[in-house]
Chain A
């Protein structure tokens, strides 16, 4: 690949893309408020901010997916209006989204072809894609259907597709969210190479250590406004975090209370075929979670976490009753409601549509998990005041911000809805709590509240199991961490053993060579 722009002369001569005063309104909500941003060639520019700060909105405007309500964009000094992504691509802007734009039932080559302008033959696209993938160290097979690929491989399609258009500006939205630490390192190698070719890169993230490692400049957004532009290498993680969040977020306090007691949730040799043919087969999963501790399950999504959650909650029944044991009682063949009656509670990954019915009111959503065991149903009739009382209690205890007493679930922000969902379960004082991705897409304040609530719950003697892609989160709250890969669960590592590197290797399917006894003990940990 040749260099994209001429080198020599001041590399900071002229910005490639400028956002000037970009404002975007959704009804009365200001997603972006007068943002200025300059992107220069041969530079990796970070766009930092917590969830909900407006990063995705700004970037969608840069890519032509949405139109700013006010403000303008300039490309190489000239004002532009982008009617759609194809025009952005024609200019030389490429983007890889957080949620991939792929078609599962089509092949890699077909997916790439759909992302390119219709100027070449399919055969030529197929060949060029293989070539580009190879050159950049991101190998791909053109004729495989996408549903067969892992998340990391799917991201490769997005990247290669973008690279094939020879972009001058690359925009990447949270690319490492779905990668193991080792895959992330590989990505950084590619990005550094691309920067060396003279391309500009806009790197959206909320992960400070990555940004400090990789990026030359950082712009921080908060609440839709630009806070500052700085050199991340000269800042500390703490100062960046403060700019991102606007205040000191206290560290999560460790629980004071009884120590670890007896195993309250036992998963014993659980093997389960997936419902969905594209799903993951659970293979001999075993784990014990005792009262008073928080156990984390790390792993990139798509390795069986959804299937495991369904098996634990009772949405899917296990092959044998002993596969899941709650407080000493075999629960494998029992349904969700019976498990709730046994004192277990669950929080799924998907807030809207799974954890709640989006168009139903909060009181009805309280009934959703409460009807089995929380005294909301008498002789088949719903006790509405009881459901409202739960909403009120949850609102108060967990600081849920909402527009009225009992709104539709959909109208709450991500963080507030998540506080409600986690809160309604915690208020039941369950003996066992299983939570999946507790703070995904949630603002830092709500995230801190939720994590503290989980720790406090464990402190009161509950067995808490947290499934999370966020290694930082697990480092903060988990006493022990196991790793899920291809439907298999590693033996849990203690906090000391669970270094980023070790976890990363397990997430990628490798075993650490050498004599770490806790890892070697379990034959189940063996990856590919």
Chain B
């Protein structure tokens, strides 16, 4: 028992751990960041999983055909945004219930990605290039961690910082937060609520698409149908966990990345734990996190944007 513990500890305090956590957390961070913006504007898009898997399929297909990671990434973004556009048309244009539409988006995305990706299963591409700076990357310990990541990782940090600045330091960000707080007031003040929400939703879709594209482009250099394995749903839970604040989102994403790492590595330790237990860890962890975060909020009430999920139809 102690021996096993020692082995686990040895795993955690290793460069390998940090590197794995970073790559495991990146898709979560990317997807959750986009969804955070959408939800701050008042829209609950449950279709993140569908947008992600579409990003994965289209991104991989494009990268394979063009032999370029960038093209793949861009196609992933476009695929996610296109799916989000369908969602926006229904929920914002036709005032359809957001929960049902998000589910429909997930089902459609899963099926469509299978169709698109079917022809590419088993193919390999060159994985996304990792940064290499002459002296810095060679540094012990921090070298690879700070200076040896692929573009997605660096972008994910730039993204969340950019989102923070946008939300709290720009007027547009203030308007977006206002729309999420009270769309009736925002409309009365003359702000184009539906247009703002649409932009936020498209942005969220693009991020989800990019997050999905990360998986076959950088995480593993091949595509498997369903490879998102529920990460989209975990991203949704992360937004709740983060109380809709960017800073806490990073912490949450990395926490889950750590759980993923645990899941992968413990299996290799041969501790006799059935693989299925480890596989279900991230999902169980999500449930636990959701329960805990709601408990601690208790007295201060929900931190969710007040008009989250509420349908808005302006009168003319």
Contact = CB atoms under 8 A, between A and B. Distances in A.
Direct contact of A and B (CB under 8 A): yes
Interface of A: 64-67, 84-86, 89, 97, 99-106, 110, 113-115, 118, 122, 276-278
Interface string B168-180: 0001001101100
A115 B174 contact: no
Contacts of A103: 177-178, 181-182, 185-186
Nearest to A273: B299
B182 A84 contact: no
Top 4 A-B pairs ranked by shortest CB distance?
A85-B190, A101-B185, A101-B188, A103-B181
Contact of A66 (B175, B184, B191, B315): B315
B306 interface: yes
B301 A104 contact: no
Contact of A276 (B175, B182, B301): B301
B185 A277 contact: no
B189 interface: yes
Contact of B188 (A65, A89, A113, A118): A65
B300 interface: yes
Contacts of B191: 114
Most buried by A among B184, B188, B306, B316: B188
Given A66-B315, A85-B190, A277-B301, A118 B171 contact: yes
B189 A85 contact: yes
A114 B189 CA distance: 8
Contact of A114 (B175, B184, B300, B301): B175
Nearest to A105: B181
Contacts of A101: 182, 184-186, 188-189
Contact of A277 (B175, B300, B315): B300
Contacts of B177: 103, 106
A103 B178 CA distance: 6
8 contacts: A66-B316, A85-B190, A102-B185, A103-B182, A103-B185, A104-B181, A115-B189, A277-B300
Given A101-B185, A105-B306, A106-B177, 6 more contacts: A85-B188, A102-B182, A103-B181, A113-B171, A114-B191, A115-B189
B39 to A, nearest CB: 14
Nearest to A87: B190
Contacts of B175: 114
Contacts of B171: 113, 118, 122
Interface string B144-161: 000000000000000000
A277 B299 CA distance: 7
Contact residues of B: prevailing secondary structure: helix
Given A103-B182, A105-B306, A276-B301, A67 B189 contact: no
A72 to B, nearest CB: 18
A65 B306 CA distance: 23
A106 B181 contact: yes
Contacts of A84: 190
Interface residues of B, number: 20
Nearest to A67: B316
Contacts of A113: 171, 174
A66 B315 CA distance: 8
B160 to A, nearest CB: 22
A350 B187 CA distance: 22
A237 to B, nearest CB: 33
A106 B182 CA distance: 10
Most buried by B among A65, A67, A103, A118: A103
A106 B188 contact: no
Nearest to B177: A106
B181 A114 contact: no
Contacts of A276: 301
A118 B174 CA distance: 12
Contacts of B190: 64, 84-86, 89
Most buried by B among A89, A97, A106, A278: A106
B175 to A, nearest CB: 7
Nearest to B175: A114
B192 to A, nearest CB: 9
Contacts of B315: 66
Contacts of A110: 174, 178
A277 B301 CA distance: 6
A59 B315 CA distance: 15
Contacts of B306: 104-105
A279 to B, nearest CB: 10
A105 B243 CA distance: 14
Contacts of B181: 103-106
A232 B185 CA distance: 33
Nearest to A122: B171
Contacts of B186: 101, 103, 114
Nearest to B316: A66
Contacts of B182: 101-104
Nearest to A65: B188
Contacts of A122: 171
Contacts of A114: 174-175, 178, 186, 189, 191
Interface in B278-316: 299-301, 306, 315-316
Contacts of A97: 188
A158 to B, nearest CB: 11
A102 B191 CA distance: 13
Nearest to B171: A118
Most buried by B among A89, A105, A110, A118: A105
A85 B184 CA distance: 14
A65 B316 CA distance: 7
A25 to B, nearest CB: 11
B75 to A, nearest CB: 35
A103 B185 CA distance: 7
A58 to B, nearest CB: 15
